[in-house]
Amino acid sequence: MTTKNISQSETFKEESMKAYPAKVGRKRAQQIVSNTVAPDGTVPVIQANSRTTPGIISQRGCTYAGCKGVVLGPTRDIVNLVHGPIGCSFYAWLTRRNQTRPPSPSDPNYMNYCFSTDLQDEHIIFGGEKKLKLAVQEAFDLFHPKAIGIFSTCPVGLIGDDVHAVAREMKEKLGINVFGFSCEGYKGVSQSAGHHIANNQLFKHVVGLDDTPALKPYSVNLLGEYNIGGDGFVIEDLFAACGFHLQTTFSGNSTYEKFANSHVAELNVVTCHRSINYMADMMKRKYGIPWIKVNFVGAQATAKSLRRIAAYFKDPELTERTEKVVAEGLQYVEEALKVLKLRTEGKTAMLFVGGSRAHHYQELFKELGMTVAAAGYEFAHRDDYEGRRVLPSIQVDADSRNIEELHVEPDPERFKIRRTEAEIEALKPTVEEFEDYLGMMREMEEGSLVIDDINHWETEKLIETFKPDVFCAGIKEKYVVQKMGVPCKQLHSYDYGGPYTGFLGAVNFYKEIERMVNNKVWKRLTPPWKAKTGPQLTAVFARN
């Protein structure tokens, strides 16, 4: 970061705080941090996963979105039935973002459907369980799925429908697996609570149902890859080229049976730590599967991750194959960067998205020679910022208490030690981030801004102060940002581009960013801070 950047950070913090009432300002001040990394890797404390102050226009989504939309949604052959008003289903309908590839056209794929109980006033008043049972029956009669998941929306929790009792009853009646999720939208601070609920129920009701041994050696589960824009397909190809057997992905391009048989794998690799670290922990405790943090966004990160997996298996032939894949991949990337980097070097980017991409995508910008001046998550927890080393110091708050912590014991028959604790300790120096995640801040530059749960007001202030060359966020921010004369790359839907993982995806991303940051059209817009007339209406809080 340059001194100019650092003074811009200070101006931003000062200016944005002025807009808040004193109490809100004090809270926000703990969520906006100027980064420093001590020699031992310690970074400043940031407040995260705390409730957004009402009135602030947050980027966040709801618990139901995290459970149904994110974790369960990308699985193609579970009927995901939403118990609630139709709007909740419509907005969680995965139509284009997550990709899936059934082996043949006759294999089930329900991802294009939108299943809902379509609750009306009368059900809110008299209860919706009867309608839910009918809907489960109807879905069964029409599709004969292997499993049906029932997702609770806000009103279901308020009126007290017992989705779990309905699930048990229908499971018995239909002879297929039916399970419910108490993922009412208001249940937690954000969608993060929904991830946890989804992990718990999948673990309780599906994982471990099929004990068929892994078909090939070096079987690996890929956790936290949802196959946005085909990202998962690229990773699948890389695994095949290196000789790793992909057992199950949670949950992009996945199926019910894959989940049921995932506990036989030799290793879990975790891409999105935020959404699925619970599953990794529980599978370790119950089945003895170790896990490694990986990241396939960015060419160097991909190389590191593939090498970590190969190092875990300690097979010289596998290592050789992996090294060949890495060498070819890096050469492909280097060729592309030769030209592209000349046009991107020195430009500035900002990333405000989700609970892992704001970290992972920084890799690609660094490879382009760009500076990440500010970044933050919508709903991540302190460990995603500061690293898992802070886990013991995270206090359980009222919101986390809403979500069940499963008590998991080793399975008497199926717990199998893949690597003893001594072996894991011995591997740690070669396999970085073994059962650990170092977090986002450690990889960010000195003086860069880290902002948790950024809001619209701060986004505008940030852009006005820094005038970055590209801003990465989602659809809710995109057009506000672009009207300010700054291109916005959506990192949730990819603007329907992608894939961006692996070496192939890295080059896709470089090309798009090069085009965006050099497009002259943005300079033709007059952003509000340059316009002669200010906004028509301004307001400030009365301060005491």
Nearer to ligand CFM, 131 or 274 (CB): 274
Catalytic: 62?
yes
Strands (E), 52-114: 78-83
Q: Which region, judged by CB under 6 A, interacts with ligand CFM, from 47-55, 134-142, 145-153, 348-356?
A: 348-356
Q: What is the CA radius of gyration of the chain?
A: 24
Applying CB under 6 A, the site for ligand CFM has a residue count of 15
Work out how close the CB of 247 gets to ligand CFM at its nearest, in angstroms, rounded to a whole number.
20
Least distance (Å) from ligand CFM to the CB of residue 380? Answer: 7
Binding of residue 355 to ligand CFM (CB under 6 A): yes
Catalytic option among 48, 60, 62, 419: 62
Task: Using the minimum distance from each CB to ligand CFM, give the nearer residue, 354 or 468.
Answer: 354
Q: Which residue has the tokens 């149902």?
A: 209
Figure out which of the listed residues 117, 254, 356, 459 binds ligand CFM, where binding follows CB under 6 A.
356
Q: How far is the CB of 276 from ligand CFM (least distance, A)?
A: 8
Helix (H, G, I), strand (E, B) or coil at 215: coil
Q: Tell me, yes or no, if 360 is annotated catalytic.
A: no
Stretch that binds ligand CFM, among 355-363, 391-399, 447-455, 522-530 (CB under 6 A): 355-363
- Of the candidates 26, 96, 144, 515, the residue annotated as catalytic is 96
> Which uninterrupted H or E stretch holds 374?
strand 371-376
* Residue nearer to ligand CFM on the CB measure, 355 or 387: 355
Q: What is the 3-state secondary structure (H, E, C) of 223-280?
A: EEECCECCHHHHHHHHHHHHCCEEEEEEECCECHHHHHCHHHCCEEEECCHHHHHHHH
Q: Residue 69: is it exposed, middle or buried by C-beta count within 10 angstroms (0-12/13-18/19+)?
A: buried
Residue 500, classed as helix, strand or coil, is coil
Distance of CA 521 to the CA centre of its chain: 32
Q: Which of 65, 147, 167, 183 is catalytic?
A: 65
We find the least distance from the C-beta atom of residue 269 to ligand CFM, in angstroms, to be 14
Report the alpha-carbon distance of residue 181 to residue 186 in Å, rounded: 13
Considering the complex, state which of residue 34 and residue 493 has its C-beta at the smaller distance from ligand CFM. 493
Closest approach, Cβ 297 to ligand CFM, in A, equals: 9
Task: Give residue for tokens 């008003």.
Answer: 85
CA dihedral 238, 240, 244, 245 (to 10 degrees): 130
Of residues 137-196, those binding ligand CFM (CB under 6 A): 191
Q: Is the dihedral of CA 504, 509, 510, 515 positive or negative?
A: positive
- Of residues 401-440, which lie at the interface with ligand CFM (CB under 6 A)? none
Euclidean distance between CA atoms 452 and 431, whole angstroms:
30
Neighbours of 299 (CB within 10 A): 27
476 is a site residue for ligand CFM (CB under 6 A): no
**Under 8 Å between Cβ of 218 and 244:** yes
Residue closer to ligand CFM by CB (options 155, 224) is: 224
CB of 272 to ligand CFM, least distance (A): 3
Nearer to ligand CFM, 8 or 59 (CB): 59
Compare residues 64 and 287 and give the one whose CB is closer to ligand CFM.
64
Q: What is the largest CA-CA distance in the chain?
A: 73
In angstroms, the CA 148 to CA 78 distance is 6
Residue nearest to ligand CFM (CB): 354
| Active-site residue, 65 included | yes
- Burial bucket for residue 427 (CB in 10 Å: 0-12, 13-18, 19+): middle
Residues 45-84 that bind ligand CFM (CB under 6 A): 66, 70
Would you say 147 or 193 has its CB closer to ligand CFM? Answer: 193
Interacting positions 202-241 with ligand CFM (CB under 6 A) = 224, 226, 228
Neighbouring CB atoms inside 10 A of 186's CB total 14
Q: Binding of ligand CFM at residue 465 (CB under 6 A)?
A: no
Q: Pick from 450, 455, 452, 272: which is nearest to 378 by CA?
A: 452
Shortest Å distance, C-beta 375 to ligand CFM: 11
Active site residue 183: no
**Binding ligand CFM by CB under 6 A: which of 43, 136, 265, 353?**
353
| Residues within window 253-312 making contact with ligand CFM, judged by CB under 6 A | 272, 274-275
Cβ proximity to ligand CFM, 202 vs 310, nearer residue: 202
Supply the minimum distance, in Å, between the C-beta of residue 25 and ligand CFM: 27
> Of residues 60, 83, 123, 195, which has the active-site annotation?
195
Report the distance separating Cα 13 and Cα 449, nearest Å: 9
Positions in the binding site for ligand CFM (CB under 6 A): 66, 70, 191, 224, 226, 228, 272, 274-275, 353-357, 492
Hey, which residues are catalytic here?
62, 65, 96, 195
